[in-house]
Amino acid sequence: MKHVMTCFLLTFFVCGIYAQAPVAVAPDYESIRNEIADIASDHYYPRLLERYESFDSTLTIADYRHLYYGYIFQENYDPDWKSRDEKKIQKYFRGAKEDESKLDKVIELVCKSLRENPFDLRTMQFLCFLYHQKGDMEMGKKASHRFISIIGAILSSGDGESCETAYHMISPRHEFSILKVFQFESAAQKNVNGCNYLELKENKRGMEGIYFKVPNYVKE
């Protein structure tokens, strides 16, 4: 029940961000790359990532955009990354009942995975669930705020209604996390002019599909 309620609350707040968001603007990847490499910039990546990992509540939507989209320029970036502990994590994600003594071990495993990839959306959302299930509302609130803010950064990149205004993602795996947040189900997918188009099953919003785009950057 806690998982259902937490999911509902996350969806509610993310939808609130979506409704209040300014006009969406696609990421300027060259500008982001320059800013995160500039030690004098407010968006210098090592400092920004340190604030992110410490759950800094003063980070802005611009900060989150630089964090999320700037990750593609980091040495360990892999758009197809999967945690070495993914099977273990998925076991709990699918609803395995754990007593509180085991919850700490699961949280430790999830945090380890996020240290390897701090923007794995599914694992981020699961961490929110775990903290709430444990009854640690303070950490649950921090983890939820961070997850919601990354979703907000993604939603600020487009409207998903065309390839030109597609939502920009740093991993194809994140597309399905966005669908889950809005409680959509995919019926089919296809490539349209370099974008991934997910056709949706019938839904309350009456949306037929969403366009996503993953940047194709080669590291120098």
Confidence of residue 4 (pLDDT cuts 50, 70, 90): very low
pLDDT digits over 197-212, tens only? 999 999 988 899 999 9
Q: What is the pLDDT of residue 213?
A: 95
Nearest to 117 by CA among 153, 69, 78, 67: 78
Whether the model pTM is above 0.85: yes
Q: How many residues does the chain have?
A: 220
Q: What is the mean pLDDT of residues 191-202?
A: 94
Contact 65, 27 (CB under 8 A): yes
pLDDT digits over 11-38, tens only? 444 554 444 455 789 999 999 999 999 9
pLDDT digits over 31-64, tens only? 999 999 999 999 999 999 999 999 999 999 999 9
Contact 127, 107 (CB under 8 A): yes
Residue 98 has pLDDT above 60, yes or no: no
Helix/strand/coil for 95? coil
Question: Is the dihedral angle over the CA atoms 31, 72, 157, 154 positive or is it negative?
Answer: negative
Lowest-confidence segment of 53-62, 124-133, 145-154, 193-202 by average pLDDT? 124-133
State how beta strands 209-213 and 167-168 pair: parallel
Q: What is the mean pLDDT of residues 135-163?
A: 95
CA angle 29, 114, 200 (to 5 degrees): 65
